[in-house]
Amino acid sequence: MSTFDYLIHGFGTALIWYNLLFAFVGVLIGTAVGVLPGIGPMSGVALLIPVTASITGGLPPEQAATSAIILLAGVYYGAMYGGSTTSILLNTPGESSSVVTTLDGYQMAKKGRAGSALSISAIGSFVGGIVTLIALIALAKPLSEVALKFGPAEYFSLMLLGLGAVSGLAGKSVTKALIMTVCGLLVGTIGIDSVSGIARFTFNVPWLFQGIEFLTIAVGLFALGEVFKTILEKEEEDVEISRINNMLPSKQEFKESVGPIARGSILGFFVGILPGAGATLASFFSYILEKKVSKNPEKFGTGAIAGVAAPESANNAASGGAMIPLLTLGIPGSGTTAILMGALMMYNVQPGPLLFEDHPQVAWGLIASMFIGNLMLLILNLPLVKVFAKIIQTPKKYLIPMIIAISIFGVYAVQVSVNDLLLLLACGVLGYFFSKYDYPIAPLVLGLVLGPMIENNLRRALTISNGDYSVFFTRPLSLVFLIITFLWLVIPFLMKKKGKEVIINVEG
């Protein structure tokens, strides 16, 4: 079958009534997650994994996996839409990729142009999402066909690249990110070794024989970690929401937004493909680009419509772009896609080159649902902006118990183990301390997801080569991946050192 035939079948799957419902619920919750400052897409997706497992329990395995990933992906790209609402109305980013939107979005709101900013943000996000989906359809099959030619050595090096890239760009400190990555890899070794059958780091505790469950770790670190942070740091802020008057932008504003939306969508897509770059980096790059190409750069920071259109298009395009390495190569491009990968593996669906051959219903159903979800978001966001603005004012005394209840009941429903609940609470406390001392959580989760796969491919490659480690350097693609991994980790360190030397020379 051709790509077009697969896509038509994908729409057939996505248009089933319950999958439409899952897509709608996903984008609705995603927008709310983006609107609520502090939760973010990673926490939102992690929190809903056990809920989807419970809801889809009665469906056949393949259908359950498709429906669950449609809902979870909806939360992911829906959060990119919602994050701009708080940035524009409150000067408070709903999630990190909306930080740049505050620079001009809030200034527009203060001048009574909040409606224009919000509608251009929704239109830009829609265009960014559609551009990246068209590219995903064009690249999905060719990339997966190329990846089918990969051997264990290439897979090992590629996964090492994904691990190194996310670790190198997560958080302010590369050292802390690498420490967290190693912690994730160590946690991933707990349990019965699949090759030798020997128990590792279980201390003869039967509960540990099956290994540490990804779901418990993710929900604990992200969702409960944020809850403990809110409770212990007593984050209470009285915020005043800017008035929303006219919802439609003027012809001049729309004209000024066309170029930034187009450039932001394309740039965001290419940045999103890079493992570890993410939506935040894409939004910053697009803002800088618009300021460079603008005839009036002095307007940026004072309420320029291009300062809203470009980053919002870029962050949504980047979230779609990050799905390409996940689906075609089995390499998560961001923390959220690492959680999505873990969710797929819970349903015995392995992301990677064989996904499009072994599970076409899941792959193409997801892609088709993202078209429908983006359209739903555009229709939802314009009339419901005022409703989502009210969500921002939800008192934390109501919000916190809801998150705790969903976390505990959700994990118990899937694991049916009191030990997992104790681990959940412990991870919540750890998540708080990691956040407080700026230890990024995403590399740990990625290490936990990729660790066993890296180990298996390392063993397979060494078995084929009779224990000769040169196999990783003599195979051209594997060598290229290893060199890129090395450069990805070393260049930021060298640039930081160079920057310090420049500062010392200037001060001297």
| Bridge partner residues of 191 (DSSP) | 200
Contact 50, 411 (CB under 8 A): yes
pLDDT in tens, the chain (508 residues): 677 888 899 999 999 999 999 999 999 888 888 776 556 677 788 888 888 888 877 788 888 889 999 999 999 888 877 777 777 776 666 666 677 788 888 888 878 777 788 888 888 888 988 988 888 888 877 777 776 677 888 888 888 887 776 655 555 677 888 888 899 999 989 998 877 888 999 988 888 888 887 778 877 887 788 788 888 876 555 445 555 556 677 788 888 888 899 999 998 888 777 665 567 678 877 888 888 888 887 788 778 888 889 988 988 888 888 888 888 878 776 778 888 888 888 888 888 878 888 888 888 999 999 999 989 988 887 776 666 556 556 677 777 887 788 778 777 776 778 898 999 899 999 999 998 888 888 788 778 877 888 888 899 899 999 989 999 999 988 999 899 888 877 877 777 677 655 555 545 5
What global pTM score does this model have? 0.70
The answer as to whether 73 is a domain residue is yes
461 within a domain of the structure (yes/no) = yes
- CB-based contact 89:114 (threshold 8 Å): yes
Picking from 81, 89, 92, 88, the residue whose alpha carbon sits closest to that of residue 305 is 88
Determine the structural domain holding residue 331 and report its residue range: 3-498
Q: How far apart are CA 23 and CA 19, in angstroms?
A: 6
Separation between Cα atoms, residue 471 and residue 230, nearest integer Å: 50
Query: What is the number of structural domains in the chain?
Result: 1
Q: Is residue 481 part of a domain?
A: yes
**Residue 345 resides in a domain:** yes
Hey, is 199 helix, strand or coil? Answer: strand
Q: Let me know if residue 504 belongs to a domain.
A: no
Sequence letter at residue 154: E
507 domain-assigned: no
- Residue 274 falls within a domain, yes or no? yes
| DSSP codes joined into one string, 161-204 | HHHHHHHHHSSS-HHHHHHHHHHHHHHHT-EE-TTT--EES-TT
How long a stretch of residues is the chain? 508
Please give the distance of CA 390 from its chain centroid, rounded to a whole number. Answer: 26
Instruction: Classify residue 328: in a domain, yes or no.
Output: yes
192: helix, strand or coil: strand
Contacts 24+ apart (CB under 8 A), 102-108: 103/287, 103/300, 103/301, 103/307, 104/300, 104/301, 104/302, 104/303, 104/304, 104/305, 104/306, 104/307, 104/308, 105/307, 105/308, 106/242, 107/301, 107/302, 107/303, 108/303, 108/305, 108/308
**CA gap 22, 186 in Å, rounded:** 35
